[in-house]
Structure 1
Amino acid sequence: MFILSILFFLIGIVLTAGGIWLLALDGSPYYVISGVLLLAVSFTLRRHRVIANALYAVLLLGTMIWSLWESGFDWWPLASRMGTLLVLALPLLIFVGRKGRVSQRLLLPVWGICAVATLSPLAMDDPTAIKGTMADRVVNPSAATGLMGDSEWHAYGRSNLGQRYSPVNQITPDNVSDLELAWQYQTGDVKGPKDVGETTYEATPLKIGNALYLCTPHNWLVALNADTGEEMWVYDAKVPPESQRQHQTCRGVSYLPTEDESKQNIAKKQTQPAQQLASMQCDAQLFLPTSDARLLAVDPETGARCANFADDGVLDLMHNMPFKQSGYYYSTSPPLVAGGKVIVAGAVNDNYDINSPSGVIRAYDAKTGQLQWNWDAGHPEDTSPIGPDETYAVSSPNSWSVASADEELGLAYFPMGNRTPDQLGMYRSPADEKYSSSVVALSLETGQPEWVQQFVHHDLWDMDTPAQPVLLDLNTDKGVEPALVVPTKQGDVYVLHRGTGEAIFPITEEPAPQGAVPGDFTAKTQPTSAISFKPDPLTEADMWGATPIDQMLCRIEFNSLDYKGRYTPPSENGAIVFPGNFGVFNWGSVAVDPKRQVMFGMPLYLAFTSTLVPKDQELGETNQGEQGLNENAGAQYAVEMAPFLSPLGVPCQQPPWGYVAGVDLRTGKTAWKHKNGTVEDLTPLALPIKMGVPGIGGPIITDGGVVFMAASVDDYIRAYDLNTGAQIWQHRLPAGGQATPMTYLNSQGEQMVVQVAGGHGSIGTTIGDYVVAYKLAK
């Protein structure tokens, strides 16, 4: 009992001191009261056991009442409040001795009541879930799904429509359990000691003929046999290491078909490295963006560079840039190939320097590499090819994600980011303000902007539009309309007419918090869509932790930081950004079934903190990455960003943090929503507890009614029933699956599902270099 008494004393001291601090911040008085009661238990335990147990019974009962009042019968919030106290009560109940029977009879019933109350939510429905069924009907049986054959996957989202939908339907909810590993391949490209933290494997392969084409983080282009996974050739772009890059990744390559579309490119096994082959005149072409700001054109059959494109198959994307700092500009996403052009956008490092390269979008002749037009959000009306002695606008808003195109309308759709620095708006021009954090429709022929729809006004939160727009023809009350679906970081899903940009589902303006730093301002209102997964505002009761101590510390931090809800402006004091920088949706976008007109998405909820640091104080070491302290060279503030975590490194807000959700796009209603993923790879004990965890990546939908997705921070690929959202299959991956899968028919007519598994440096999933393929067992 002496050791237990000391333990109660130490916990009591911490809770009392922290509780006083929290109370001074207008927080809950519970921690002061519980700390004082634990001190009283400690002092009375050795000589007045009956009193000690009675006091502990009062603490248990009071904690249960307070917990139910704050969280209701929700398992994780309730268990985190009650769990530690229930465990600490066990020695009081077990080691009673002959004189402890009376005290045991006092404590045991209370302990039993509290234990039952804590465990009872396990037998109840998840209060965060939405249970339902998607309307099971085909609305548009002739819906366009892309121009290639059903067995192909010719672009990042399968086609330039970005639907991530395949007409292949051999795998169904009834037979998906028969999926087994067909083959596995390792690229040999792994994260090295000199790589930046966010070295990630996010590639989705293309399938053309009987070959798969994918890129690796260090920009190797790999060709595999689609039947067997056998390596055909590898082109290594020889990208040098660069510590100034924020990202070392490649999401995919792009494809220009042959003029004779009946020809199919089938990769042939090479006996020497592809980059050593002599360049050649190419019929079809693959385009590989590199992290040292080049665009390479490569022959699909051999891996040789295409001599007809640019400078012997190499286009330098730093041309005409106003600033050319190494590592500040590169393309992480595949370019758009449409209208005879290859259209390239790029990422500009966030918060490094106010004088950075431009975010210009450029269209080149897909065969020759000659510049056709350039659209720079800093000079949006002048799209004629830039002169040799001219430069693009400094640090103009960029488009780092994947674009889409409607060639019948002659429009390309680009999700737009922000002008760096992200958290400081005083450096932006009127043109920057108009086009940042939006989707813009550009003419494929001229690059002229046809329309723009902004999703955040005067963005101070890095809420750039991260996801590829999805195109489908949508049945509405007005008839069939050409629609565009755009998910955003702040949780809204916008459905727009892709010809005009007008809203199909209403967009409203809501009042926004005010209070920017001197010299800046905040928008008075912010838009929101009628289809939205935006979270409810955080409260102190939402703070969470594994023990009462880290729960209390999260509450102290919550009450110490600025927080007025979504769009709380950044400040010197520090502000909570929720949704955080990962966003509710990110580059994985959503998948849409154009025939049933339904959507599958993976909303996640993880708060961040953002602090502006004046340059007139000592900064210390700045970080080269999106998280940590970024210098913002030339600006009056540096910025420090981080996930909002407890001292134990878990999110301060209570779970679930990640879901899967289904939406009927005809009505805008969410049909179902379920927590997704387990903590198996987040805990030392590897417990597969379904908690609802964050994820980075995206889903695909098949005509068989099955959705495939990995993405979550546990190393699994999963299948879901599109009708109900129920998980119906999973398979353990050899590394993190932070890439969007794809599916196709092999040469034997068998449906294959392929997932790249290489992990993600920022979120700490298992690093690897794997490509895995599944098919139904025979």
Structure 2
Amino acid sequence: GVWDYDLPAAPNLVDVTVDGQRVKAVAQVTKQGFAFVFDRVTGKPLWPIVDRPVPPSKLPGEKSVATQPFPTKPAPFEIQGVREDDLIDLTPALRTQALDIVSRYDHGPLYTPPTERGAIVMPGIGGGASWSGAAWDPETQMYYVTTQRSPHVLTLSSSPRFSSDRYVGTPRFLPGPQNLPLFKPPWGSLVAIDLSSGDHRWRSPVGSGRYATVTGLGITERLGWPSRSFALVTKTVLLVVQTGYLSNQRPAPYAPNREVYDLNVREPKLYAYDKASGWLLAQIDLPANASGAPMTYMAGGKQYVAFPIGGANITEELIALALP
């Protein structure tokens, strides 16, 4: 699609009680930072969905759709589009530098189309929500979504060397000032949404977010890492793992005109959160960051949690941990 905003994950089947009525529903998270909730029997949305005007394409010969669907509930779980008030402001200097970065590109609300100059897309092409989707607790009606605050620039260029299309789109991650993210923290977070009401209950950072610049500023609160996170809900706690980060773009050894990235380890841990408050209860060190969602199973009277780690240039393994 225009923004690479395909659905990132399978939906969740959720049976909820809304306004005293039991509803067999289905919930779908998106890269855009939305959660759409429908009655899975009738197909009707649990809360109204409205079509709103979005910016048109400025590319000669291209006509983009005039409206996009916006759910009225739940509220977006991620920053959408580019507003100056959402840019990093840990210091006045960082904010000034962030404004300068943004000024180099086209930008606007959600669904601002790519341009030849380059348009900032927020959430970026990796979401928002990611491929593991959301975690659902049928007992509490809570819907847990992991999200990353990671913008991209989408640039269109005429490139007959690589394609017969008139234009070729190129995405790239857009960093902020001094190797920090461009937007305000939390840069990676876990969001709890009550699907009986559609209201957000809490948001908690995933990861410390302790970049060197952050440490130098004396900030000790958790700010989260802008990486994909994966959640698993149990009867007692919420378990979350997170990916590492990519760097060192280099030519691919297996194909011409292709590039690959190195995967880097960053604070690899298994986190345990309180389901009701989002409070971080515990964390366990891992040999490498996760590359997929955790699962749980019983064996020999014990409960285990398993998930993949590594990938790319880091050896892939399956980690299994026994719960006490």
User: Which TM-score band applies after superposition, normalised by the shorter structure?
Assistant: 0.7 to 0.9
Partners of 1:615 and 1:516 in 2: CA distance: 18
Is the 1:471–1:485 contact (alpha carbons within 8 Å) kept by the matching residues of 2? Answer: yes
Offset, 1:578: 0.9
Partners of 1:649 and 1:489 in 2: CA distance: 24
Counterparts of 1:403-442 in structure 2, within 5 Å, are: 422=1
Offset, 1:551: 5.3
Residue of structure 1 equivalent to 2:225: 693
Offset, 1:637: 0.8
What code does the residue aligned with 1:600 have? Y
The normalised TM-score by structure 1 is 0.36
Question: Which of 217, 237, 246 is equivalent to 1:706?
Answer: 237
SS of 2:230's partner is coil
Offset, 1:647: 6.4
Residue of structure 2 equivalent to 1:409: none
Partners of 1:535 and 1:725 in 2: CA distance: 20
What code does the residue aligned with 2:317 have? Y
Offset, 1:463: 0.6
Which digits, 9 at most, give the CA deviation of each residue in 1:30-69, with x for residues without a partner? Answer: xxxxxxxxxxxxxxxxxxxxxxxxxxxxxxxxxxxxxxxx
Question: Which of 280, 301, 314 is equivalent to 1:767?
Answer: 314
Question: Alpha carbon RMSD of aligned pairs, Å?
Answer: 2.8
Is the 1:610–1:639 contact (alpha carbons within 8 Å) kept by the matching residues of 2? Answer: yes
What code does the residue aligned with 1:585 have? A
Higher Cα radius of gyration? 1
Is the 1:461–1:570 contact (alpha carbons within 8 Å) kept by the matching residues of 2? Answer: yes
Give the structure with the larger helix fraction.
1
Q: Structure 1 regions of 5+ residues with no counterpart?
A: 1-421, 423-459, 620-630
Counterparts of 1:199-278 in structure 2, within 5 Å, are: none
Partners of 1:772 and 1:486 in 2: CA distance: 28
Is the 2:206–2:229 contact (alpha carbons within 8 Å) kept by the matching residues of 1? Answer: no
Partners of 2:315 and 2:95 in 1: CA distance: 35
SS of 1:698's partner is strand
Is the 1:610–1:642 contact (alpha carbons within 8 Å) kept by the matching residues of 2? Answer: yes
Counterparts of 1:20-59 in structure 2, within 5 Å, are: none
Offset, 1:772: 2.5
Give the structure with the larger strand fraction.
2
Is the 2:155–2:170 contact (alpha carbons within 8 Å) kept by the matching residues of 1? Answer: yes
Offset, 1:768: 3.4
The normalised TM-score by structure 2 is 0.82
Partners of 2:174 and 2:89 in 1: CA distance: 12
Is the 1:643–1:651 contact (alpha carbons within 8 Å) kept by the matching residues of 2? Answer: no
Offset, 1:684: 10
Question: Which of 285, 288, 292 is equivalent to 1:735?
Answer: 288
Residue of structure 1 equivalent to 2:150: 606
Inter-CA distance 525–647: structure 2 relative to 1 (3 Å threshold): same
Residue of structure 2 equivalent to 1:352: none
Q: Which has the higher contact order (CA 8 A, sep 6+)?
A: 1
Partners of 2:22 and 2:136 in 1: CA distance: 16
Moved more, 690-699 or 604-613: 690-699
Are 1:715 and 2:246 an aligned pair? no
Partners of 1:479 and 1:685 in 2: CA distance: 48
Counterparts of 1:654-673 in structure 2, within 5 Å, are: 654-673=184-203
Number of residue equivalences: 297
Offset, 1:685: 11
Counterparts of 1:225-624 in structure 2, within 5 Å, are: 422=1, 460-477=2-19, 479-529=21-71, 530-531=73-74, 532-535=76-79, 537-540=81-84, 542-544=86-88, 552-615=96-159
What code does the residue aligned with 2:223 have? M
Partners of 2:94 and 2:19 in 1: CA distance: 52
Inter-CA distance 545–506: structure 2 relative to 1 (3 Å threshold): closer
SS of 1:699's partner is strand
Are 1:650 and 2:176 an aligned pair? no
Is the 1:736–1:767 contact (alpha carbons within 8 Å) kept by the matching residues of 2? Answer: no
Is the 1:755–1:772 contact (alpha carbons within 8 Å) kept by the matching residues of 2? Answer: yes
Which digits, 9 at most, give the CA deviation of each residue in 1:699-752, with x for residues without a partner? Answer: 11112x2111102543111111111111111101101113111112212x1111
Partners of 2:56 and 2:105 in 1: CA distance: 15
Counterparts of 1:55-134 in structure 2, within 5 Å, are: none
Which digits, 9 at most, give the CA deviation of each residue in 1:491-542, with x for residues without a partner? Answer: 1101112233221122112221123312211222211111132425433454
SS of 1:556's partner is helix
What code does the residue aligned with 2:308 have? V
Moved more, 578-587 or 643-652: 643-652
Partners of 2:193 and 2:213 in 1: CA distance: 36
Which digits, 9 at most, give the CA deviation of each residue in 1:103-149, with x for residues without a partner? Answer: xxxxxxxxxxxxxxxxxxxxxxxxxxxxxxxxxxxxxxxxxxxxxxx
Offset, 1:603: 2.3
Is the 1:757–1:770 contact (alpha carbons within 8 Å) kept by the matching residues of 2? Answer: yes
Partners of 1:542 and 1:565 in 2: CA distance: 12
